[in-house]
Structure 1
Amino acid sequence: MEYHIKDLSLAQEGRDRIEWAERDMPVLRIIREEFAKERPLKNVRISACLHITTETANLAITLKEGGAEVYLTASNPLSTQDDVAAALVKYYQIPVFAIKGEDTQTYYQHLHEVIRKEPNIVIDDGADLISTLHKDYKELSKKVMGGMEETTTGVIRLKAMAKQGILNFPIIAVNDAYTKHMFDNRYGTGQSTIDAIMRATNRLIAGSNFVVAGYGWCGKGVAQRARGMGATVIITEVDPIKALEARMDGFLVMPMIEAAKIGDFFVTVTGNTSVIREEHMKVMKDGAIISNAGHFNVEIDVQALESMSVSKREIRKFVEEYKLADGRRIYLIAQGRLVNLASAEGHPASVMDMSFANQALSAKYILEHHQELKRDVYRVPEEIDRRIAQLKLESMGVKIDTLTLEQVKYLSSWELGT
């Protein structure tokens, strides 16, 4: 079996952590049991570009139980958990091409490795796999049945491809499922981002000015958790509706140039480029800590920070100190890459349970419906979304009401009024 990982001897620790995560993924466990009986993905090749974490491992195992040949590579050079990669190779015979800290060249070599397996279905997190497939393997891309995309950033890229008419197969935007973005993005990103900042810095968040750039679902989650830790939270936005919502939710709202002057912690979570720029870093306080929770490492202009600095050193693991000419110091976490996976472990398993249940069921859906789907980006079918929500409620011991026949009739009529 071909693979490229850091160290196979880490496998036992990885297997233990995969099993620990699996205990908190009851929805995916139910789907895995169904897949093992029905084998809906028999002889289907799936290439996936995802964060190689314990939760991703459980998705890969589920897909394999369903009959698929699964090939994994990392969707971020710093997000791989090397022990998990080793366990997948040694104990589950799933080929993995990922090493934490790999350089850009190796990252793309690994993408090419899983593409050359000629997948029938692709799973992506950020759209690097799909875009590389279209740019470098155009004819092969035309043979792909379909794919799934996990992130807001990736969905934006793929919708642009569809709009330009260059997308060669249908995409299910798993990110847009309610059971994904309302929970994974808000509760998962919120908790794991704060966790990552605390692990990296060991600084007290209570009493600080905590700046969150972007008030989408991820931004909302980070802002809520920072406020829960006792911070004064400041939101920066370009969308007037989201900015208004942030203000009505009780947060301070101001332009980044103003927030930069008073912020202690900064987190970018917009999916856009150059959100924190030279003009902002010029006015930051001595000791400002900046990080990124967006998928790509473009939200902080690290190149500008480099050019402004007279010296640079790693003062803690995953924390680089940049000293400016006037003596101020700015601290960058995880090189400006996805902080919650670079300096922590990513989202809790109970949240990823729903996200990866969507991935597994969407893979089955694509296999069954790809011939009738156009080369476009689709939401997860509502019946899949609702089933996952219902299974999650049942796993939590929560029961809900059902409509009576009278209520069903009322909702479907127009004659009844006051």
Structure 2
Amino acid sequence: MRRLLVLAVVLASCAGQTTGASTPTREGEATALAFSPEPTVTPATTLAPAATLAPVPIPEARPRITSLVGGMELASVDGPADLRIDPAISRDDEAVIAATVAGDIDAVQREFARPFSQRPRIYVFATNEAYAGGLARIFGYPTATAAFVADNSVSFFEPSLPAIAVNWQAVGDRRPVAAIRHELTHRLTLEACAPRCDLVPAWFNEGQARLAEAQVPGGDWRMLRVRYEAASMADTNTLIPLNTLVSQLGWNSLTDWAGYYKYQEAARATELLREDVGGPTPIARIYERIRRGENIAQAYAALSGRSFEDFVVGLPARMSSAVPPSPGFITLPIAPEGLGASYLLYGFAPLASVTLTISGPRGSETWPVTISPFGAVFDGLPGTRAQGGYTLSIQHSGGVLTAKVRKDGRGSPGDTR
């Protein structure tokens, strides 16, 4: 019995220990042994091999939907315009065209504060030959007329259709592309002025379209040219009287150098007129009055509080004062093609000869430059020239003008200039 009692005490003592814990003991006190539990053998888990991920498929561009228009195969492009493009145009360029058209339509509608009554119809041709062919076969021009228009334009709006033609070979390397916005401006002008489109002077119609080009995001160099080249005309007394630019026939009769500079003058005059009219939508306000039967002079006077005669008389001084004194020389770290750098001379004696020296990472070179009949010259450093800083100097009868510009882009190793 006593043995049983002792055994019970021992068992009770063992039961009071916590397995796995190390408890301090006093001298003479028995140490309870802790046993690790019998290890459980778990079968090894065999990991399945990692699944091989299938390559993510690159979505293919949707097949083009083409149809014959005037016997020419053209592809339809979804968007806010009835846009048809030449299948010879790459898919990358197609994306540029579609984005450009969408942005331009939005901008032009905001300028006029009105939507297009129907989706503008736009044809974009891949080459000079296709452009001329489209003008003949789709727009219905006689072959000789189509060839003339193609040789003297990069895009065209035909009011009677109404439709727009674009020569992608001529405009596709320019960034940003601006010709489409120019023609869309003409397209919406035709709606904004109705039924009194006879009251719209050619200089205002064409000037607004050229100004729209300069307002395309990224087109700061175009706006700079408008302002500086108009100032050059003012400083050299070569501005074309606005009263000779009222009829479209008179406008179209100016070609060669005048055929270019008339746009710069008209765009700058339109910009200053918009500034005087003021408000968030000055063009819309002007056309609202034209639709009522007011001419441009009456609309301007009513909206600006100034006489149109004062506006015309003050144009030369306003154009001239907006830029540094002439003759002058500026550089731009961009070229029309997006690469290279450019320079602009303004306010020089018309047809004068000056000497240009360009010094860069690979040396210097000098050559003569003839000033245009309107006192200005715009040209650029080719994209093939080496990257780095350049110093440009103009030697003329009044001294030497110097400017610096940095050209980005690696250039071509073969161009050693």
Give the alignment's TM-score, normalised by structure 1.
0.28
Q: Is the helix fraction higher in 1 or 2?
A: 1
More contact order relative to length (CA 8 Å, sep ≥ 6):
1
Give the alignment's TM-score, normalised by structure 2.
0.28
Larger Rg: 2
